[in-house]
Amino acid sequence: MTLASRELNGSLVFVFHRDFAEVLLPSLCGRLEQARALAMAGQAAEAGKKYQALLVSSQVLAYAVAIQAMAQYADRRLESGGQISSTQVKFASEAEPILRAALTEDPREIERILDAHPEVFAGWARLLEEWPVRIDDGAHKAEVAKVVWDIAFLVVATYEAAGAAAEIAGGGRPPIPPLPVFATAGGAVAASYAGPVTLEMAEVLRKLIALGVLDVGVVAALSHSLGGGVAPAPPGIPNALQMSAEPKGGAVPQGSSGNGQSPQTKAAGGAARANELLRPGGKLIGQAGSSSRIRILQGGRAEAEALFNQLVRETGATTITKPGLAGFAELPDGGGSIGFRTSSTSGPPTIDVRIPSLGIREIKFIP
Amino acid sequence: MKLVGDIDLDDIRKRWVAEGSESDLGLWWLADDVREILGADATEDEVRVITLRALRPLLESGTLRAVNLLEGGKFEMWPGDVDEQLDRIAEGWRATHDPGIGDVVWFIGPRG
């Protein structure tokens, strides 16, 4: 979610970006730290309230980022500014009371507000589904469908766990074993969108509900806002069972993408392998340099050359001699290219990476 | 193609300055950023024009410098004033059509 928000740089979403990065996110991270501290100190009830608030907030913010991203794109596609603004205002008016209630950490208030807006999450999913159609862009529609799908899956995975735990806790039964949803590929997909923090919250939530610490009413209200025990998928989005059966990144709903291929499936096989090597488990290798797309690895020329050669070998890239570069290779099927320099003006050996959507431009090797 | 506003270009310039402080930015790097902002339907001519527009004040202020990379981490500055450099970049861009890694020119920030 944080990474997605960093991509928001258009003028129409600038305020949202600034507020998200500078105000909301630090506040939520602070609460997460507090929740952890309380849980470690054995103050389960207080920790539970904070995790509960973070869970609701994270769902609202996941949609907020997706909708702002769509607003930015619509702006670039010359949709009328008034139309975009009115959509943003409508979303803000719906999201604001839920977020405000969540941040009170008061279970009764959260339950009340969720019960008062039972259709709100499904409505946002519909908005994301319909917006690309309005600006008549099939390619972006597929991207948005993927985002909605990820959010829907996150929500489904989280709430199914919470709902099941609530039922058990409400029935006075003992704590439950780990729920299957977290052991499936689906759990991994959920984690891939909002990251381990949300998964951690969901898991802690499950345990706390099972122990009778968390408020069952809030969890029940959350579940109702998604239409019951199994969240309704947005139009064109597979349901929880279908999604659980899919490997990570392996499918996008038919009819949304036009050709039924996800970005990863569309990417050449070489680029997909490069993704696995440079972004294992969705996490970029190494440490960030002066930006997240500059990665720092420990090593020298030998390590740099070894990684370059591994990339060439395992992606099936074709090496080409190019002046000024110690190595250069093009991935098959237009999947991108990589270059190798034994030194750079700042010193270290460097691999230049030009693979669309990977999120890495350069890898430096520092001893 | 969207008419790119000052905020878009300011954002992208800030990013290049931060990244160019420690890294060598190829022309492809800058072009891909602009291409992403303009969207998939932008032509290469449009990408080139906006990239050079974003680049001009950075070259004028010396925040980024156009260079050729040499062996051993050394580099040589491009000769000429900013107009001449931009003309040369545009010419090289047209010749390669879509500049890739190592093509045309590199940009670096001040080096200590």
Predicted-complex ipTM score: 0.94
8 Å CB contact of A322 and B74: no
Model confidence at A150, in pLDDT bands (50, 70, 90)? low
Chain B closest-CA separation from residue A142 CA (Å): 14
CB contact under 8 A, B22 and A290: yes
pLDDT at A250: 29
**Region of residue A260 (phi > 0: left; psi between -120 and 50: alpha; otherwise: beta):** left
d(CA A93, CA A99): 10
Q: A69 vs A89, which has greater pLDDT?
A: A89
Give the residue, A176 or A202, on which the prediction is more confident. A202
Residue A311 vs residue A35, higher pLDDT:
A311
Nearest CB neighbour to A9, from listed B11, B29, B75: B11
B61 burial class (0-12, 13-18, 19+ CB within 10 angstroms)? exposed
Do B100 and A354 make contact, defined as CB atoms within 8 angstroms? yes
Structural domain containing residue B92: 6-102
Average model confidence (pLDDT) across chain B: 90
If you search the block for the tokens 């402080």, which residue do you land on?
B21
List the structure tokens of A292: 């997240």
pLDDT reported for residue A87: 74
As a whole number, mean pLDDT of residues B84-104 equals 95
pLDDT band at residue A286 using 50, 70 and 90 as cut-offs? very high
More confident residue, A253 or A43: A43
CA distance A329 to A339: 6
Q: Please check whether residue B33 lies inside any domain of the structure.
A: yes
In sequence order, the 6+-apart residues with CB closer than 8 A to the CB of B17 are B58, B63, B64, B109
| pLDDT score of B103 more than 90 | yes
From A62's Cα to the closest Cα of chain B, the distance in A is 22
Q: State in Å, rounded, how far the first CA of chain B is from the last one.
A: 40
A and B: number of Cβ contacts within 8 A: 88
| DSSP secondary structure string for all residues of A117-160 | -TTHHHHHHHHHHHHHHHTT-HHHHHHHHHHHHHHHHHHHHHHH
A319 phi, psi to nearest 5 deg: -80, 140
Cα(A216)–Cα(A169) distance, rounded to whole angstroms?
8
| Amino acid symbol at A66 | A
Task: Tell me how far CA of residue A348 lies from CA of B19, B26, B49, in angstroms.
Answer: 15, 16, 32
Distance from the B100 Cα atom to the nearest Cα atom in chain A, whole angstroms = 8
Closest-approach residue (CA) in chain B for A336:
B100
Q: Would you place residue A238 in the very low, low, confident or very high pLDDT band (cuts 50, 70, 90)?
A: very low
A337 vs B contacts (CB less than 8 Å): 100-101
Alpha-carbon dihedral angle through residues A348, B111, B96, B34, given to the nearest 10 degrees? 100
Question: Which chain B residue has its CA at the smallest distance from A344's CA?
Answer: B73
d(C-alpha A16, C-alpha A39), whole Å: 32
Give SS3 for A340. Answer: strand
In this predicted structure, what is the pLDDT of residue A119? 75
**Quick check: is B110 in a domain?**
no
A293/B19 CB distance under 8 A: yes
Contacts of A290 in chain B (CB under 8 A): 18-19, 21-23
Q: Please indicate whether, in this complex, the C-beta atoms of B101 and A350 are within 8 angstroms of each other.
A: no
Cα(B24)–Cα(A68) distance, integer angstroms: 32
Q: Bin B22: left if φ > 0, else alpha if -120 < ψ < 50, else beta.
A: alpha
Query: Which of A7, A9, A319, A337 is the mutation pick for testing B, counting most B CBs within 10 A?
Result: A9
pLDDT band at A81 (very low <50, low <70, confident <90, very high): low
Among A50-59, B13-22, B26-35, B67-76, where is mean pLDDT lowest? A50-59
* Cα angle, residue A301 at apex, residues A298 and A303 outer, rounded to 5°: 50
B42-66 pLDDT tens trace: 899 999 999 999 999 999 999 999 9
The verdict on a CB contact (< 8 Å) between B39 and A76 is yes
From chain B, pick out residues whose CB is under 8 angstroms from the CB of A346: 22-24, 73, 111
What is the pLDDT, as a whole number, of residue A109?
81
The band of A339, judged by pLDDT with boundaries at 50, 70 and 90, is: very high
Q: How far apart are CA A263 and CA A2, in angstroms?
A: 20
Residue from the list B37, B73, B101 with its beta carbon closest to the beta carbon of A345: B73
Residue A340 has pLDDT above 90, yes or no: yes
How far is residue B19 from each of residues A27, A344, A348, A360, B51, measured CA to CA in Å? 28, 14, 15, 12, 16
How many domains is chain B built from? 1
User: Which A positions 78-107 lie with beta carbon below 8 A of chain B?
Assistant: 78
The pLDDT of residue A197 is 45
CA-based end-to-end distance of chain A: 32
A341–chain B Cβ distance below 8 A for any pair: yes
Q: Residues A83-112: pLDDT tens digits?
A: 667 777 777 778 888 888 888 888 778 878
Instruction: Give the confidence band of A60 by pLDDT, cuts at 50, 70, 90.
Output: confident
**pTM recorded for the entire structure:** 0.47
As a whole number of angstroms, the distance between CA A157 and CA A206 comes to 11
Residues from chain B that touch A362, judged by Cβ atoms under 8 A, are 23
> What is the distance in angstroms between the Cα of B68 and the nearest Cα belonging to chain A?
9
Contact B73 A347 (CB under 8 A): yes
> Which among B40, B69, B100 is the nearest to A324, CB-wise?
B69
Closest listed residue to residue A215, CA positions, set A166, A155, A159, A173: A166
Return the structure tokens found at A229.
């025990």
The residue type at A325: L
B36 inside domain: yes
Q: Which residues of A touch B39 (CB under 8 A)?
A: 73, 76-77
